[in-house]
Chains A and B, each alone.
Chain A
Amino acid sequence: MSGGRLSRWFDRKGWTALLIGAPYLWLVLFFLLPFLIVVAMSVATKTPTAPPFSFGGEHPVVNLDAYGRVLTDGLYLRAFLTSITNALVAMILCLLIGYPMALGLTRVSKGWRNILLMLVILPFWTSFLLRVYAWMGMMGRNSWFNGLLTDSWNFLVPLDWAVRSVPMMHTNFAVVLVMVYTYLPFMILPLYASLERLDPVLDEAAMDLGSRPWQVFRDVTLPQSIPGIVAGGMLVFIPAAGELVIPSLVGNASSPMIGRLISDEFSSARDWPMASAVAVVLLVLMVVPTMLYSHFQAKSEGSK
């Protein structure tokens, strides 16, 4: 009896609901709910209590001071600007380096392709922190890498411009360099996935109709890989804009990136409402273009 009831309970519709429901439940529990808590915190008032904020009582229920500061205080605006600029530069560099690599992956033999794909993923097998520390060592004043760059710089430029070493550590250059290094696979893999799907016969057709190889790339390959470019771009840009570890370790402390600011507000300044407000603004900045893109993507898919 109960077995029958159980199997009725596990009917196909029930399973479908479960399969669809589980990811949603996950998102609600671990994304939406925490996000709502952050939103609530962002409109609270900072107090010297534990936890260091409160609603109501002698304070207003909705306190928008933090948002006011985000929009008016130059420190936050500069941090957003630095983050977005660094992330954009890193994204563009990743695209410029990753596109030829992804295209190359689709053109080599199957055996080579697997080896090269593994090499793209291989860095993930070592600790991310370890790799950043390795870069710190390389960029430092006394490293062989810096020495090499210094020597070639001094060799190429007039004597007046000669330097003792190339200042790399604690600059935005260092941040972008390490971010490009870290996020490159996130650009290559979606690009490769979209380029690999293209039919090589289309290249031949374009060539047959009079296009030289570069024209074939411009007219046939590039337009068809736009979804891969957008996916790779977002996978690099979004985490890079909110990046905390890389700018903390190799970045310039006097022009912090936004992730650094959120962390500082949270821990050293113990201003949770402020940290939350900055986090909410960052999320909105990242989510709006993504949503716009998927909206237009859905529209063009719908017209297909």
Chain B
Amino acid sequence: MVSAEEPFLRIEGVSKSFGTFQAVKDVTLTVGKGEIFSLLGGSGCGKTTLLRMLAGFEEPTAGRIFLDGRDLAGVPPWDRPIHMMFQSYAIFPHMTVEANVAYGLKHEHGMDKAARAERVAAMLDLVQLTDFAKRKSHQISGGQRQRVALARALARQPKLLLLDEPLAALDKKLREHTQFELMSIQQRTGVTFIVVTHDQEEAMTLSDRIAVMDRGEVKQVGSPTDIYEYPVSRFVAGFIGSVNAFEATVLGHDGPHLRLEVPALGGAVLARDPLGVVVGQKIGLAVRPEKIRISKDRPEGVNVVAGQVKDLAYFGKDSLYRIAMPGGALVQAHAVNSSRGDEGVGVADWDDAVWLSFDPSAAIVLVD
């Protein structure tokens, strides 16, 4: 990802304060051309402020933003080759769908009437709204409004498209469908997308890369797999998916692994060595529920712990178990219901004594 040449979008040490409140703290990011890049975080994490600085609605208090080699400092929103799809879609209610899509094009002075009409028709075709061209925003559905907003933002062929919670206003079923539509439109147009979202699933499916943000800071940047499988901090591990987190102390290095003392699991555990930790250091240990195996008989290998099923939730294709450790801690484990034996579908039942095991590679050491 990192190359010697100038990246397409470079955010360099950008901060933004409102009075004494620091909304964005020293964010540095690069985004490649044609990428779908997500800013993921809860409300108030600064993701929207960062997006508004890219659009030009806010000026950074410190730091600089370069797009395609051009410093955007002091460039007003109307002069930026960056367009935004607003969370509420912001469709002009007094104009037809067609006029909405054509709105930005009137600032394209080199374009004649026929070319504009052609572009509008192409955009409406792209989002499959040709039949609705003459309608007004109150005459179309929420999903259609989202597509009008997308077509309008793409009509001027921006270098960068900002999407503020693009799917939050849609119902669940429409959201999944629209997600794939967004991805396919991005592939066809090749425009770089920056998506702000609080929905980790949405970020995981949509994005090439994700920046996880918390309290104005970027906590981790990486591909969805990186973020999920190799979280670097307790915050990221907890924010993306569910996780079992334990406090641990480093006992020593053991070949490619790290040996940890984990009181909650009642003993020593082998984990993936993140390098750079020292013996005696207090760290966090995280194991995803689906990485924990449950069995009635004691399995061979390392990282095996005994426990008792306290609670189980049956979801059909899989079940979620809550297992009490001897020390009192509860561990969540996800198991796929692959067999349909005569003794019930699941691996274990309430109050059964079971063995839990996980690979050292599935045990993530969290330093931060």
Chains A and B form a bound pair: yes
* Contact (Cβ within 8 A) B93 A224: yes
Partner of B77, one of A201, A204, A223: A204
Q: A211: CB under 8 A from chain B? A: yes
Interface size on A, residues (CB 8 A): 17
Partner of A205, one of B56, B79, B90: B90
* Contact (Cβ within 8 A) A207 B78: yes
Q: A209: CB under 8 A from chain B? A: yes
Can you list, as one digit per residue, whether each of B141-156 has a CB less than 8 Å from chain A (1) or not (0)?
0000000000011001
* Contact (Cβ within 8 A) B92 A208: no
* Contact (Cβ within 8 A) A209 B83: yes
> In terms of DSSP, what is the predominant structure of the interface of chain B?
mixed
Question: What residues of chain B lie closer than 8 Å to A220, measured between beta carbons?
Answer: 92
Question: What residues of chain A lie closer than 8 Å to B104, measured between beta carbons?
Answer: 209-210
Q: A78: CB under 8 A from chain B? A: no
Question: What residues of chain A lie closer than 8 Å to B83, measured between beta carbons?
Answer: 208-209
* Contact (Cβ within 8 A) B86 A205: yes
Once the chains are docked, how many angstroms separate the CA of A136 from the CA of B88? 53
Q: In residues 196-251 of chain A, which contact B (Cβ within 8 Å)?
A: 199, 201-202, 204-212, 219-220, 223-224
* Contact (Cβ within 8 A) A209 B152: yes
* Contact (Cβ within 8 A) B94 A223: yes
Question: What residues of chain A lie closer than 8 Å to B107, measured between beta carbons?
Answer: 209-211
Once the chains are docked, how many angstroms separate the CA of A224 from the CA of B92? 9
Once the chains are docked, how many angstroms separate the CA of A304 from the CA of B94? 11
Can you list, as one digit per residue, whether each of B82-126 has a CB less than 8 Å from chain A (1) or not (0)?
111010101011100000000110010000000000000000000
Tell me the smallest distance from the CB of B133 to a CB of chain A, in Å: 16
Partner of B84, one of A208, A223, A304: A208
* Contact (Cβ within 8 A) B90 A199: yes
* Contact (Cβ within 8 A) B78 A304: no
Tell me the smallest distance from the CB of A206 to a CB of chain B, in Å: 7
Q: B138: CB under 8 A from chain A? A: yes
* Contact (Cβ within 8 A) B90 A204: yes
Q: B350: CB under 8 A from chain A? A: no
Once the chains are docked, how many angstroms separate the CA of A205 from the CA of B90? 6
Question: What residues of chain B lie closer than 8 Å to A210, measured between beta carbons?
Answer: 78-79, 104, 107, 156
Once the chains are docked, how many angstroms separate the CA of A212 from the CA of B78? 6
* Contact (Cβ within 8 A) A204 B57: yes
Tell me the smallest distance from the CB of A238 to a CB of chain B, in Å: 26
* Contact (Cβ within 8 A) A201 B86: yes
By beta carbon, the residue of chain B nearest A200 is B90
Once the chains are docked, how many angstroms separate the CA of A211 from the CA of B78? 6
Question: What residues of chain B lie closer than 8 Å to A211, measured between beta carbons?
Answer: 78, 107
Q: B55: CB under 8 A from chain A? A: yes
Once the chains are docked, how many angstroms separate the CA of A209 from the CA of B77? 8
Question: What residues of chain B lie closer than 8 Å to A208, measured between beta carbons?
Answer: 55-56, 77-78, 82-84, 153
Q: B136: CB under 8 A from chain A? A: yes
* Contact (Cβ within 8 A) A304 B138: yes
> B79, B90, B93, B94: which has the most chain A beta carbons within 10 Å?
B90
Question: What residues of chain B lie closer than 8 Å to A219, measured between beta carbons?
Answer: 92, 103
Tell me the smallest distance from the CB of B48 to a CB of chain A, in Å: 12
By beta carbon, the residue of chain A nearest B136 is A304
Once the chains are docked, how many angstroms separate the CA of A304 from the CA of B78? 31
Cross-chain pairs A/B with CB under 8 angstroms, 11 sampled = A202-B92, A205-B84, A208-B82, A208-B84, A209-B104, A209-B153, A210-B156, A212-B78, A220-B92, A224-B94, A304-B136
Report which A residues bind B (CB closer than 8 A).
199, 201-202, 204-212, 219-220, 223-224, 304
Closest 5 CB pairs of A and B: A210-B107, A209-B104, A205-B90, A201-B90, A207-B77
Q: Given A208-B78, A208-B83, A220-B92, 18 other A-B contacts at CB below 8 A?
A: A199-B88, A202-B90, A202-B93, A204-B84, A204-B90, A205-B86, A207-B77, A208-B153, A209-B83, A209-B153, A209-B156, A210-B78, A210-B107, A210-B156, A219-B92, A219-B103, A224-B93, A304-B139
